[in-house]
Chains A and B, each alone.
Chain A
């Protein structure tokens, strides 16, 4: 009897320690510390504008159903296997947007996936890629967003199924799948290659759609850039590795850069779906930047496309 009670007490204690450990480890500041901004030079608004285009911010945050891509009222619904996300208002509105945020708040969100209340942000917001943007460039982007018109109104709350509606669990997700840190250039590669690698993996967040995801919604590293089912459940996102069969193996750098500028493939098909919007964004970059992205993409090893899910 005494033994049984001891065992029970031990189990309860162990559970408490485990829970406490989980609680500490999944603390947003512990699992995903953001880089310290510190003192920065005056922001370069033009660079911020370029990043705004490269990052495709407006694609999710512009108010749906109107043409102005600088009205960042949010509200776009993003379907996922976990429920529906609603992109928030990121306009400089002081009550409904991010008008009260400081640069560090913005860096916390972009580089660490931590919101202003110290809460975890869901990785539907691709901070997994944006974290590669260095704090100085993030400050430029923040300064640009602050020049845009404030938009009133909040997006609806996310509609996620249990247990995905528990934000703290994102901390566990980060433990497993998220690593922070800004982009580190490869000194063995050319400047253009590094610029392309940064644009593709960081602001461009190409891999967020052009990869397959596991049951937890994290990118399966082996399928990075090799394509996968549309996370929104409509169709299949193409392979953009150097795979000859259905990747970019037979494309020249010029052809890749042309697609990013005009949306036309070498066979003069015009890309559609969400990629049409991506092209409108990438078209605002310089020819040199698009060429750099193409150079980087041409350097990716060929990876076979993961099997397509059976049609329903």
Chain B
């Protein structure tokens, strides 16, 4: 009984340690990779290189909306440097603006999810992806 409890406690400790080790830098870079991959698919449809697929379009905007929700939580004070981060110090100087940028991205993505034809998709996709450059311009140091 005691042994089980000890083992469980040990596991719990190990788990917490693992959680703390989960590098937010890696996680946000991973999240952005997903966004990039979704944008690749979206761009192909918008340019007519791939056939328009409403389900795929929904998935792209869902990826955006999920990322927009998750990203602002991945910048704790402890993650200003390390792991080849290109995060600008401005993120922590201007948390309000940073969060507002993601709120706008999320809103644009949710509006886009309603697109059912190619023309609407193009407009919504263009509007949503404008956020990429706007946010990188203000909050990322890499060009």
Contacts and interface: CB of A to CB of B under 8 A. Distances in A.
B58 interface: no
A230 B88 CA distance: 14
Contact of A235 (B37, B86, B139): B86
Contacts, number: 59
A41 interface: no
A273 B37 contact: no
Interface stretch (A137-145, A159-167, A260-268): A260-268
Interface stretch (A102-110, A188-196, A274-282): A274-282
A88 B88 CA distance: 27
A268 B36 contact: yes
Contact of A267 (B36, B135, B138): B36
Nearest to A278: B143
B43 interface: yes
B40 to A, nearest CB: 5
Nearest to A274: B143
A277 B39 CA distance: 20
A238 B37 contact: no
Q: Specify the main secondary structure of chain B where it touches its partner.
A: helix
Contact of A271 (B40, B88, B133): B133
A271 B88 CA distance: 14
Contacts of B39: 264, 268, 270
Contacts of B129: 262, 264, 270
Nearest to A227: B143
Given A234-B88, A235-B86, A276-B137, A271 B36 contact: no
Given A264-B39, A264-B43, A270 B132 contact: yes
B43 A273 contact: no
A279 B129 CA distance: 14
B140 interface: yes
Interface string A234-277: 11111000000000000000000000001110011111111111
Contact of B142 (A235, A267, A268, A279): A235
Contacts of B138: 272
Contacts of B32: 269
A272 B140 contact: yes
B134 interface: yes
Most chain A beta carbons < 10 A, residue from B32, B37, B136, B142: B142
Interface string A179-191: 0000000000000
Contacts of B142: 235-236, 272-273
A277 B143 CA distance: 10
Interface string B116-143: 0000000000000100111111111111
B40 A268 contact: yes
Contacts of B143: 235, 237-238, 271-275
Contact of B133 (A235, A236, A263): A263
B128 to A, nearest CB: 11
A118 to B, nearest CB: 37
Nearest to B42: A268
B136 A276 contact: yes
A268 to B, nearest CB: 4
B16 to A, nearest CB: 30
A76 B37 CA distance: 36
B133 A270 contact: yes
Interface string A213-238: 00000000000000000100011111
Contacts of A235: 86, 141-143
A128 B139 CA distance: 30
Interface of B: 32, 36-37, 39-40, 43, 86, 88, 129, 132-143
8 contacts: A238-B143, A262-B129, A264-B129, A273-B143, A276-B137, A277-B137, A279-B133, A280-B133
Interface of A: 230, 234-238, 262-264, 267-277, 279-280
